[in-house]
Amino acid sequence: MTFRHALLALVVGAVLAASPARAVDLAIVSGDTGNGQRILREILDQYEKKTGNKVTVVPVPSSGTDQFGQYRLWLAAGSSDIDVYQTDIIWAPQLAKQLVDLTEATKDVVGAHFPSIIQSQTVDGKLVALPIFTDAPALYYRKDLLDKYGAKVPTTWAELAYTAKLVMDKEREAGNKDMWGFVFQGNAYEGLTCDALEWVKSNGGGQIVEPDGTISINNPQAAAALEMARSWVGTISPPGVLAYQEEESRGVWQTGNAVFMRNWPYAYALGNSEGSPIRGKFEVATLPPGSGEGARPAATLGGWNLAVSRYSKNPDVAIELVKWIASPGMQKYRALKGAYLPTIQALYDDAEIASAQPVIPRWKDVVLNAVPRPSAQAKSRYNEASSEFWTAVHNTLSGDGTAADNLADLEFSLTRLKGTAW
């Protein structure tokens, strides 16, 4: 062996010893909306540079329903193609059996997160997913238009409908024919469950299934809330709202054709991005309360988490990746770039975030008081329960039966679904 060879061997040996493990290829699946995919890629680029591992993002449609079906298929097939799944807050109880228990690996970091969110991802004492951002919706309003017509930010749903109609009519008279008052997510899908839960809860109508498992949805206040929403369709909201998901409503909003919009915080950064027609013209407020007894502002708790597949070939590396994406540094990056709400409490007091995305510090209380969907109660039957709920709501909104009748039917089908116990 010549000297050169010996030196080469030494160098190679040193490099191998220096890197803690061999470079690993991982795959993460995500169906994020807006520019979320790009931000995720940027975060992963930083990770790749730091560790030398390679991470491929497998994109899936942004509709949660589509994602869930695809995840179920991959997991049922025991596929090792995907190591890390980005999961909705409501999926933990349904997918728990096929996800790695993260309790031990993350006990050093979970303390910094909102306890309620960690709780939502804990199934039978096992933490199955680590939160990377949380979601609580906002009422987006066109500040310029409200100022123009001397209207105030609404503090009840009734005020919202009134102001929306006022501004919409005036704007239409002024020649803006495509103007609408209020857009939300009215398509028959999980998003409608979120929107409708807010209407019902904010009107003192309970939260569909109470924490103790009681089915509470069939009550006059809930019916009144749905009747109120029905009265919007075709008056202040376009009839097409019944087919809108997040991106369709943002489409109407961001082209400047809506006075109000209910949407998640991601729309804040996009609305203020370069080239947006409404840049600097809008503000956000909390969703208003209704008028019934026990009425209070309500925001449905959303949010996304990362889970490691039980069938991953490199579960340990995958767990490290999950911890990296969920770390304070990366959550801050996500917040700065896309106004994503962190799940780490301390970041709400971060000065840099406060100046770049002023909406975030204001949202801490909204997150703390957000209403969870009944996924913990309904467990593996949540999707079906939610589908029953959104169908009843969608029927009501499209004028197919009254709210009271549809809720009575819903109570029956939920009771049947529940059986003797959830």
Partner 1 sequence: MRQRARSAWLFLAPMLIVLAAVAGWPLLRTIYFGFTDASLTDLEAGRWVGFANYFSVLHMPSGRIIYDGLLADPVWWRAVWNTVRFAVISVTCETILGMIVALVLNAEFPGRGVVRAAILIPWAIPTIVSAKMWQWMLNDQFGIINDALLRLGLISTKIAWTASADTAMFAVLIVDIWKTTPFMALLILAALQMLPQEIYEVTRLDGVSPWKVFWKVTLPLIRPALMVAVIFRGLDALRIFDLIYVLTPNNVRTKSMSVFARENLFEFDKFAYGSAASTLLFVILVLLTMLVLRFGRVKLDRSY
The binding site for partner 1 (CB under 8 A) comprises 65, 68-69, 72-73, 75-76, 94, 97-98, 178, 186-189, 238-244, 248, 251-252, 255, 257, 380-381, 383-384, 387, 390-391, 394-395, 398-400, 416
Partner residues linked to 133 by β-bridges: 304
Least distance CB 252 / partner 1 (angstroms): 5
CB-nearer residue toward partner 1: 282 or 382:
382
d(CA 26, CA 312): 9
Least distance CB 337 / partner 1 (angstroms): 27
CB-nearer residue toward partner 1: 78 or 358:
78
Answer yes or no: are the C-beta atoms of 203 and 225 closer than 8 Å. yes
CB-nearer residue toward partner 1: 83 or 388:
388
377-382, Cβ contacts within 8 angstroms, sequence gap of 24 or more: 377/209, 377/210, 377/211, 377/213, 377/422, 378/209, 378/417, 378/418, 378/422, 379/93, 379/94, 379/422, 380/93, 380/94, 381/417, 381/418, 381/422, 382/90, 382/93, 382/94
Answer yes or no: are the C-beta atoms of 281 and 51 closer than 8 Å. no
Least distance CB 412 / partner 1 (angstroms): 10
d(CA 56, CA 25): 8
Least distance CB 413 / partner 1 (angstroms): 9
Partner residues linked to 180 by β-bridges: 258
How would you class 127 by CB atoms within 10 Å of its CB: exposed for 0-12, middle for 13-18, buried for 19 or more?
A: buried
Least distance CB 255 / partner 1 (angstroms): 8
CB-nearer residue toward partner 1: 113 or 394:
394
CB-nearer residue toward partner 1: 163 or 254:
254
CB-nearer residue toward partner 1: 16 or 76:
76
CB-nearer residue toward partner 1: 191 or 204:
191
Partner residues linked to 135 by β-bridges: 302
Least distance CB 190 / partner 1 (angstroms): 9
308 in helix, strand or coil?
strand
Least distance CB 121 / partner 1 (angstroms): 18
Q: Is the dihedral of CA 136, 407, 203, 139 positive or negative?
A: positive
381 in helix, strand or coil?
helix
